[in-house]
């Protein structure tokens, strides 16, 4: 339910009618000027974003290189733990399948069986 509705008119223009007419006539020239300014700002923001992404990528590559180096340094220790076997190449690894059975519990129970029952 609408109780009250009031129209709020536009405020009066601060430009003279001559200036408004001049702007209307030269709108294309003004729009090109402001489009170029928008493009410059957009390019500047894009450049900042590219720099940020490049920095993040360099940080990531540094982190990966550090962990690869640590992995290589620990290679001898891993081989020692596996009895001299190299485990870095999974496709060359040998797998053994072992089946084991374990007896958990044995219960003997005497069951009465009556053959004379029909």
CA 42 – CA 36 distance, rounded (Å): 10
For residue 80, pLDDT over 70 is answered with yes
In contact, 23 and 30? CB cutoff 8 Å: yes
Compute the average pLDDT of residues 7-22: 88
For residue 92, pLDDT over 70 is answered with no
Q: What is the pLDDT of residue 53?
A: 92
Q: What are 75's two structure tokens?
A: 């290679």
pTM of the model: 0.40
Residue-range domain boundaries for the chain:
19-85
């Amino acid at each position: 339910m609408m109780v009250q509705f009031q129209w709020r008119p536009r405020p009066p223009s601060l430009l003279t009618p001559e200036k408004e007419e001049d702007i209307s006539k030269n709108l294309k020239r003004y729009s090109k000027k402001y489009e170029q300014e928008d493009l410059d700002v957009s390019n500047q923001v894009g450049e900042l974003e590219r720099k940020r992404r490049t920095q993040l990528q360099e940080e990531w590559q540094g982190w990966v290189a550090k962990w690869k180096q640590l992995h290589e340094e620990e290679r001898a220790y891993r081989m020692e733990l596996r009895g001299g076997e190299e485990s870095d190449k999974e496709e060359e690894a040998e797998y053994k399948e072992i089946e084991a059975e374990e007896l958990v519990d044995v219960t003997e129970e005497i069951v009465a069986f009556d053959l004379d029952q029909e």
